[in-house]
Amino acid sequence: MVMMTKKACLVLLTLALAMCQVRSQMKPPLGGQAGFPPNGPVTVHVSSLLERLLAVDDQNYRFECILYVYFSWPDSTAWSRMKESTDAFRNGSKETCNRNCASHGEVGIPRTYGIPSFPGVPKGLEYAPEISCCDGVWLPSLTQLNVYELPEGRLQPYEIRISDSGSVAWWTAIHATYFTPMNFQRFPLDEQKLVVQFSFTSPLMVKEFVPSTTATRFLVRGEGDVVSGWAVDSIGVEPRNFSVRSEIAHWVD
């Protein structure tokens, strides 16, 4: 499909397992917690849902987008850890909640907002993410490698949903500008691969990343082009496994 003078761009999420830690200038949206997984390395399923491609800067080889990233993995201890943290905050033995289970929740807000009694909460929803604390629950830590800018004042919603059957699902929306290589040899019928690249800190935590659901348009409805001159063909997730030695050998003569 050709839009104006340029063909559609492919937004690609690349995940990597590595032994080294890469630091970002700003706090990354996917900061983990709680050290190592309680039951050893886990398999993490990854969904990548593109909310909107906001801009493509073909002069400076950058692009801006809002991307929903969804991770899920097994953890038989997560429910009890969440329940322990939530109960401790509600009964006053824990002063603060450092990690609300949802960005739109109230558990970390002063107790005058209905905590700890939660009047009117339906039975079975006492530990819904909006009113629960996820301190102590293991979360993988991922760093963005090719982020150029995280806009000030951006919205960064997230939710950590924990099942009492032993599974965790964590999604977050990332609004960022990225730098990426582009190739214009086929201009004006060029197709660009726009890469959002993350690096994981240690294979001792994640056994493997498994690609799952993808979407090129998510949540916000509407007809027409998403950004002038471009259309999105597809989106994919490409896991990579590599050692520090092999990665250094690739880049250093």
Strand partners, 47: 70
Residue with tokens 């090719």: 146
* Reported confidence tier of residue 250, pLDDT bands at 50, 70, 90: low
Residue ranges of domains in the chain: 2-74+142-251, 78-137
Q: What is the pTM of this model?
A: 0.80
Looking at the chain, the number of H-run helices and the number of E-run strands are 2, 12
Query: Alpha-carbon distance 67 to 45, whole Å?
Result: 16
Mean pLDDT for the stretch of residues 133-159: 88
Q: Which of the pair, 14 or 67, is modelled with greater confidence?
A: 67
Phi and psi of 10, rounded to 5°? -105, 120
Q: Which of 52, 72, 75, 77 is nearest to 64 (CA)?
A: 52
pLDDT at 172 over 60: yes
Mean pLDDT, the chain, as a whole number? 79
Q: Give the per-residue pLDDT at 241.
A: 75
- The model's pLDDT over 234-247, given as tens digits with 9 standing for 90+, comes to 888 888 777 667 76
pLDDT at 166 over 50: yes
In sequence order, what are the residues at sequence separation of 6 or more whose Cβ sits closer than 8 angstroms to the Cβ of residue 178? 62, 63, 64, 65, 144, 146, 147, 148, 194, 195, 196
Measured CA to CA, the distance from residue 192 to residue 179 in angstroms comes to 13
Residue 88 has pLDDT above 50, yes or no: yes
Region label for 153, one of left (φ > 0), alpha (ψ between -120 and 50) or beta (otherwise): left
* Greater model confidence, 248 or 111: 248
| CA-wise closest residue to 34 among 96, 95, 77, 83 | 77
First and final CA of the chain: distance in angstroms? 41
Beta bridge partners of 168: 73, 162
pLDDT for 123: 77
Across the range 221-235, mean pLDDT stands at 74
20-76 confidence digits (pLDDT tens): 344 334 456 888 887 899 999 999 999 999 988 899 998 899 999 999 999 999 999
Using the predicted structure, report yes or no on whether residue 8 has a pLDDT greater than 50: no
- Is the pLDDT at 121 greater than 90? The verdict is no
Look up the CATH number of domain 2-74+142-251. Answer: 2.70.170
Query: What pLDDT, on a 0 to 100 scale, did the predictor assign at position 190?
Result: 67
**Residue 199: band (very low, low, confident or very high) from pLDDT cuts 50, 70, 90:** confident
